[in-house]
A and B are shown apart, each in its own frame.
Chain A
Amino acid sequence: MSVLEKELNEHEKLEQFIARIEAGDKIEADDWMPEEYRMALIKLISMHGISEIMGALPEKEWVPKAPSLRRKLGIMAKVQDEMGHGQLLLRVAEDLLKPYGKDRGDLMMDLFSGKLKFHNVFHMPAKTWADAGVIGWLVDGAAIITQTNMLNSSYGPYSRALHRICAEEVFHAHHGESIIMALAEGTEEQRNMLQESLNGWWEALLMFFGPASSTTTGSSKQDVTIKYKIRTSTNEELRQSFFTKYIPRIQSLGLTIPDPTFRFDEEQQLWIYQQPDWTKFKQIITNNGPRSQARLNLRRVSYETNAWVRDALSAVSN
């Protein structure tokens, strides 16, 4: 450590750090950062990264069952992208974890033990081809809203990863739209399948943005992440923005929002909606959702089955 650095006490370092963030400067992995900032980033980015990987699983189920070769190629490409996003984000998380002597292996173990959670939507079943479409259209649509909200994150490596990710998410959104468009313009059976899929995913989509405040579920990272300019908008602002962008499109296809109380309040300039069951949300993200254990097992088995490859290659590399 240099003389210059020794002279600064923790308080001065923090002041300098905040001044850098306020000035729009980007923080890099080996820069000094307050513990609270590092911890918030690790939690956010490891959860984001592992969710990309777990998120590939419900869609992967549709690769062998896709209705045409072109659809199969499209969904395979998307599944591969999601895994790629997971790789990028885990790299960002690993560099942050360095002072603790932890790496990717530890993150995997945290996933298996339930310490590291993944997004609520990826605990849900993808029963029909319409589900595959709705995941691409609306789940990815919701993800685009939360991710673009962090494109200018104060943490440089995360911001750069998100720029790569969001560029590909545009393709995912179009891929999903292409599937649902074919169904929306298809037979009555196909239209019904699409409506049922929307009904099934609606609550999960609302939950995706997280509770409006920590009073709902007991904890929320949004205050800390906004304070440090990791993100700009609150959960509720993002949910409202999702409604504004997607509700007109959903309705234009003749689909019904599965919430009779749903409306736009002109006076408040807000969408009014039935709150999802936040108790259920907590159950789902603590790995008690419909497909939580099955998907964790799939990941666990593949991690264990491939352990010999990691052993063999680490022995010969220099």
Chain B
Amino acid sequence: MEQKKTFYHEFEVFSKRTPSSSFQHQFSLLAPNAEMAMVMAQENFMRREPVADIWVIQREHIRGLSKEEKTALNRLDNKDYREMKGYGYLKKKWRFYQQKMFDEKEILSWSGGNKHD
């Protein structure tokens, strides 16, 4: 792709706070190349907060959505078979069988390891 010869290229900056967190968009900056963008990203956005990793991406390499495409993102409210709320009735059923529902909170709490109490 033919590029305008300029000092100012737009970069979008993403970073994550800790090794286990996800990347988050920070802001954009101007830099002549990716190396300078990386230095600028740290100077501009990471002076205090802890940071575990950084991405810089030239803005023109990002494929975003047009205004029309965005309108197609609206969700129809007919997908409860994909969601927890479509199965909420189970709680009552399990209660009938004198059992507790394994809800999201309960299931995710198993990450601490399974022990017999």
Contact = CB atoms under 8 A, between A and B. Distances in A.
Contact of B32 (A160, A171, A314): A314
B68 A2 contact: yes
A77 B47 contact: yes
B29 A313 contact: no
Nearest to A88: B27
A81 B30 contact: no
A104 B67 contact: no
Contact-residue bracket for chain B: 20 to 34
B27 A160 contact: yes
B7 interface: yes
B18 interface: no
Nearest to B25: A160
B8 A103 contact: yes
B27 A91 contact: yes
A313 B30 contact: no
Interface in A69-90: 77, 80-81, 84, 87-88
Contacts of B33: 313, 316-318
Contact of A87 (B3, B29, B67): B29
A164 B29 CA distance: 14
A91 B32 contact: no
A200 to B, nearest CB: 31
B17 to A, nearest CB: 14
A23 interface: no
Contact-residue bracket for chain A: 20 to 34
B63 interface: no
A318 B45 CA distance: 24
A76 to B, nearest CB: 11
Contacts of B29: 87, 91
Interface in A289-318: 310-311, 313-318
A104 B27 contact: no
A71 B67 CA distance: 50
Given A84-B43, A87-B44, A314 B5 contact: yes
Interface in B1-15: 3, 5-9
Interface residue SS majority, chain B: mixed
Interface string B25-52: 0011110110010001001110110000
A154 B43 CA distance: 28
A4 B68 contact: yes
A77 B48 CA distance: 10
Contacts of B43: 80, 84
Nearest to A3: B68
A12 to B, nearest CB: 14
A84 B47 contact: yes
A2 B66 CA distance: 10
A31 to B, nearest CB: 7
A160 B26 CA distance: 9
24 contacts: A2-B66, A31-B67, A80-B47, A87-B29, A87-B44, A88-B27, A91-B29, A91-B30, A94-B30, A104-B8, A104-B30, A105-B8, A160-B27, A168-B48, A311-B7, A313-B7, A313-B33, A314-B5, A314-B6, A314-B7, A314-B32, A315-B5, A316-B33, A318-B33
7 tightest Cβ-Cβ pairs between the two chains A and B? A313-B32, A314-B7, A310-B7, A317-B33, A317-B32, A84-B44, A91-B28
Given A5-B67, A104-B30, A310-B32, 13 more contacts: A77-B47, A81-B47, A84-B44, A87-B29, A87-B44, A91-B27, A104-B8, A105-B8, A310-B7, A313-B32, A314-B6, A315-B5, A316-B32
Interface of B: 3, 5-9, 27-30, 32-33, 36, 40, 43-45, 47-48, 66-68
